[in-house]
Structure 1
């Protein structure tokens, strides 16, 4: 059956235009306005007036005698139209009409009859409805657009769920083999896959159906990808929705969409519901709300709690939720029976990064040895998440294409990592010779400290080419593996290396510059954490103080705050003295590295070995494996 749709706005507009045209061309509706003097001399004194009608107390319609009007105006359409004149008030009109008829000597019984009538102008009435019709039309138009993405038509579809359904037969192609770097998380979530595939294996032993799992972790670690892989492995439908799509300006829309989502899921059971960024509706209700108006969000959360652990708990519907902030979620969501599992997906280790690189490198045209390439890139990218690694590989391909290369080489990958970490090279920023010399000695100070301090990170590359926002120099270091614990010696060496740029300026120039601002910030933060969080100050002791900006009051007294300030200053000064002592001893080497930087602008690890000799401390085994001499490779010129 063919559907006939009528546009309300077009119908109203066409009706209004038709009426106005009819009023314009209709002969019975023609009208002519005259003055009182013209009415008195041309019509009243000649006896052409049959009667008068006062309309709405402001106008007088003149009705002429037909035979008299036809004689006076034989070729005029007035005998078919209306003649009227305006009056100020009814009282003045009646007085003037009586005086005029008295002057003409008209007897009282033959005087012109006067009628009084209230009439409504249809044109004015329709025009007064135009704003209301515009508001109604706007609401209908916006509701139609708002519901276009959900497949619902009209304002009645606003309470329907906007979750996107992926059918396992056509849309979901992601498997666990496509997810790398999270072996523990995959192993834990495999339980949901086994349940959805063979639920009878668990039910025969009396096991309860797991309701869901929270996937938490930093941005870009693959929470959504893991949820899709779970649906792909289980061969079940997959509903994907964002937490913010439940909250609208209309009251009751959020709970209605939650009900509709779970109703659709039960019809497609067994299936998986994935709610991304669940903290948009699942924030703790116990915490104070200073903004007000959170009833709609709380109603949505209450409906979600009811659907997950209400009376309908026998359906094979698994709910997975992703969030970057598990600490702000309501405790009712986290209890067993709703989200039974809390799966933490952290940034991958070096081995995990290597696996992720192997997944993304399959799509890249390169002649490099895959095992060595992935291992070297994994060592160069500590702290990178899966999304960062994908971006890095894509950036390398873009750089290779920009240079019109046939394959993506190691040089392109290293340039991509430098761009992601340090920012884009600012070749348009031209430094003066004095500024360039200062930057060279500043970076040389960092490089010498990193080379000779035992617990500092090994240097890979140092450059005086400006990058990013405000970075006039750039040094790349390789952390000693994935460190999870740091000793006080490591912290002091790293802090001293951070201050190496300022100390080098002091030793080689008569005055210092503003280039060490970021170094001071890092050193102060590190020393403050040592005192307030890591218990490395004998004066303050083994206490923990969270002095973040979010808190309105400091969690310590003024006396304790004074001690913290003194200890932070003492630790930074100790690191400064260690750095100054080393750079005074190696002042000549700082000059050699700085002058070579001025000549080449970029120095690699091989250049440092050539200039000042091998590093006196043993490097990490992964460092030697991927950044030492490769079999059959030629030495750097």
Structure 2
């Protein structure tokens, strides 16, 4: 449309016969021009044409006629024949010119593929760099760290971080220095360069770093260690330089590098095959930026990792990361504080002190992320049941969901299978944290836990299938959080773990493969007692590492036979202890199994009713939450993970 609107020459196509009869034979043709060897443009005498054809558009200078030809040779031959026929002498014959023309539209279209390729590269470069806030392909070496404004983005304070009091005390030094640096500088102190926050996943390393920025009221740069490494050589060091350049412009500020082990692994084990190593170059640049010649700015570097043991020694030395802060899973008191933080947003009428204490007792080994997930799951369960508020039973069902997995209603067991499961269920024997996942347990485990002094008594057991490959769920009440275990405690735990197989032998004609995980657990425990903990008189106080990657054992064949003999001796001793106990308590095992068959869920109060009060002193911290009673009768609802409750706890 635009092309046609632009004023220019106008034309009309005619045939050879029309050309000859209308113009050529009447002597109106002034000149012929062959364009692109396919078309002939006819130039007429305007004055003569205006006299012969006064209404013809050819009288206008912007109009011309043309006709198409098959080949130039045929056109020239027909033109000569026509001029001979009219008797035109050679000196007066019509001149013929030849010209090649290319339209501007054709010129543009010829460049279209090139323009398309250039445009695609430009668009892809902008798209690739848009995540980093850079434009153009030259922004690939820029840092991808996200800047959080301390006035609008960082709202987390230390009061929002619970369960890590020691770590908060350590890191408060950074906050004090960033807020009042002159208080330290007048005494000659230098600002600590950084701190490594290490610990299991979900314990709150990133949360603590954000709280530090929120308390100090300074800008906060957050970046992942993997974002420094790209497929292009030199990008990692360039991004490190750019990150620290931005940080110095915003000083005082905090840089938080999450998962620093992605670039900070030890250089001794890397680059075995030679060649350039991008991670090593990035680490070298990071070392230079943290403790090079330019170290006077108030830039604090915090780093989080789950694997502090693999980090390079040069990165961990004072002057770079001055503080090594370990954040472990919270203790019972720490879990109670974390529950109180997350319960602020939950609608419930339960007594907060009792609720948080009971939930902390029910969740040994939980990290902060596990606790947040548990509280959220309780609210979801209450919402699915159209409840007005979240009550205790919802929290207990949420804990069962987190530990045991989703209830499998599609997996229906036959009566024979249920009976076998009741005596020897598909559970795991108790872990040191008190959690139990899908492996092996039975009524024999419960009786052993009840009558062995150092074993963990049963809190709740169910034969409702849960999780992946689990035919039930169980939870034990740990006897406090112990960090040191004596020989007597380990023997009781091994005896309890073997309770499944012993109970099978006592109550069934044949045994099953269900105790394989129990045997694995007992063998590992006994091997550690012999090779690492010095609990064997024959082997003595020696330590043998069982690293499977080593091709050669660290001991001789004779020592290996002694170790095998000692391990078997310990397991046999635990087996005999378990068998003696369960033979005496064979009646109680039957009562527990039959009760489990009829109710499918047994709680601590059922164990007390059937077996009597445990003949040992209980943990005082747990007794006040489990023996004083608390109402927990749930309203029935069709939730996808509803768990039939145990017997109502007496008021």
Q: CA deviation at 1:300?
A: 2.7
Match of 1:365? 347
Q: CA deviation at 1:51?
A: 7.6
Match of 2:220? 238
Q: CA deviation at 1:313?
A: 1.4
Label 1:31 to 1:601 Cα distance change in 2 as closer, same or farther (>3 A). farther
Q: For residues 420 and 605 of structure 2, what CA distance do their matches in structure 1 show?
A: 23
Partner residue of 2:304 out of 318, 322, 325 = 322
Query: Counterpart of 1:273 in 2: which secondary structure?
Result: strand
* Count of paired positions: 604
Match of 1:301? 283
Q: Trace 1:182-331 onto structure 2 (pairs within 5 A).
A: 182-289=164-271, 295-331=277-313
| More moved, 620-629 vs 330-339 | 620-629
Match of 1:459? 458
Label 1:334 to 1:268 Cα distance change in 2 as closer, same or farther (>3 A). same
Q: For residues 517 and 29 of structure 1, what CA distance do their matches in structure 2 show?
A: 95
Q: CA deviation at 1:391?
A: 1.2
Q: Trace 1:109-508 onto structure 2 (pairs within 5 A).
A: 126=108, 129-289=111-271, 295-442=277-424, 443-508=442-507
Does structure 2 conserve the Cα–Cα contact (< 8 Å) formed by 1:540 and 1:560?
Answer: no
Q: CA deviation at 1:60?
A: 5.6
Match of 1:3? none
Label 1:207 to 1:119 Cα distance change in 2 as closer, same or farther (>3 A). same
Match of 1:585? 584
Q: For residues 556 and 31 of structure 2, what CA distance do their matches in structure 1 show?
A: 102
Match of 1:12? none
Does structure 2 conserve the Cα–Cα contact (< 8 Å) formed by 1:534 and 1:544?
Answer: no
Does structure 1 conserve the Cα–Cα contact (< 8 Å) formed by 2:42 and 2:64?
Answer: no
Match of 1:608? 607
Instruction: Give the TM-score of the pair, scaled to structure 1.
Output: 0.81
Label 1:255 to 1:109 Cα distance change in 2 as closer, same or farther (>3 A). farther
Label 1:119 to 1:435 Cα distance change in 2 as closer, same or farther (>3 A). farther
| More moved, 362-371 vs 334-343 | 362-371
Match of 1:509? 508
Q: Deviations over 1:326-357 (max 9, x none)?
A: 12222221121111111111111122112212
Q: For residues 188 and 353 of structure 2, what CA distance do their matches in structure 1 show?
A: 47
Unmatched runs of 5 consecutive residues or more in structure 1 = 1-16, 88-92
Q: Deviations over 1:304-343 (max 9, x none)?
A: 2222122221111111111111122222211211111111
Instruction: Give the TM-score of the pair, scaled to structure 2.
Output: 0.79
Q: For residues 606 and 419 of structure 1, what CA distance do their matches in structure 2 show?
A: 21
Query: Counterpart of 2:356 in 1: which secondary structure?
Result: helix
CA RMSD of aligned residues (A): 4.2
Q: Deviations over 1:100-120 (max 9, x none)?
A: 999999899999999988877
Q: For residues 113 and 421 of structure 2, what CA distance do their matches in structure 1 show?
A: 67
Query: Counterpart of 2:264 in 1: which secondary structure?
Result: coil
Q: For residues 351 and 310 of structure 2, what CA distance do their matches in structure 1 show?
A: 45
Does structure 1 conserve the Cα–Cα contact (< 8 Å) formed by 2:222 and 2:258?
Answer: yes
Q: Trace 1:21-36 onto structure 2 (pairs within 5 A).
A: none
Q: For residues 557 and 83 of structure 1, what CA distance do their matches in structure 2 show?
A: 102
Q: CA deviation at 1:475?
A: 1.5
Query: Counterpart of 2:325 in 1: which secondary structure?
Result: strand
